[in-house]
């Protein structure tokens, strides 16, 4: 029986030498693999009240839309700076070589809403931490952070758990 990890392609030396890129497009392209991933991402949160699903740009949009549909709740994107058309709040975060900014519409979530945040990959946790901060600044509560892939050596899970977050990943890869 196949696992989610069996559907993920590894591309060596992308985007630069020494990096093993974990490509989830092969998972998304396979109907059984994609369905398996969505079902497994949802499983720990079954029965919990969730008001919105938030997806991190860009592959988190693909997952988040499917999960929101399954839960019959709305979907909210967190995007790179300058991509959303209405009034936004922003959050800077650190990259390996510099800084980036993500945004959310300032009216996307209401105080007290319970949010499941999703993305394809958890590495250092910088983008996810920025997303959590945006969600919390709007007064909503993050009930969980769900990822397909965890790269534990890079410390993202520990960072998010240190913030008190429930972190769920379908598979992990040692090395990166």
- Residue from 16, 17, 96, 174 carrying the catalytic annotation: 96
Is there a catalytic annotation at residue 59?
yes
- Residue from 22, 35, 52, 59 carrying the catalytic annotation: 59
Cis peptide before 110 (omega within 30 of 0): no
Is there a catalytic annotation at residue 113?
no
DSSP sequence for 99-168: EEEEEEETTSS-TT-EEEEEEEEESSSHHHHHHHHHHHHTT-EEEEEEEEEE-GGG-HHHHHHHTT--EE
> Which residue numbers are catalytic?
59, 96
């Amino acid at each position: 029986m196949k696992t989610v990890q069996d559907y993920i392609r590894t591309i060596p030396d992308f985007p630069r030498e020494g990096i093993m890129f974990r490509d989830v497009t092969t998972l998304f392209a396979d109907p059984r693999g994609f369905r398996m991933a969505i079902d497994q991402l949802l499983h720990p949160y079954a029965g919990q009240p969730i008001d919105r699903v938030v997806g991190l740009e860009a592959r988190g949009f693909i997952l988040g839309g499917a999960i929101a549909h399954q839960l019959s709740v709305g979907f909210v994107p967190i995007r790179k700076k300058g991509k959303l058309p209405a009034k936004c709040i922003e959050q800077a975060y650190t990259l390996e070589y510099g800084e980036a900014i993500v945004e959310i519409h300032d009216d996307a979530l209401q105080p007290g809403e319970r949010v499941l945040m999703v993305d394809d990959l958890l590495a250092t946790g910088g983008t996810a931490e920025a997303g959590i901060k945006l969600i919390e600044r709007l007064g909503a509560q993050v009930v969980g952070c769900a990822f397909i892939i965890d790269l534990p050596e890079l410390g993202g899970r520990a960072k998010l758990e240190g913030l008190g977050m429930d972190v769920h990943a379908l598979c992990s890869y040692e090395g990166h």
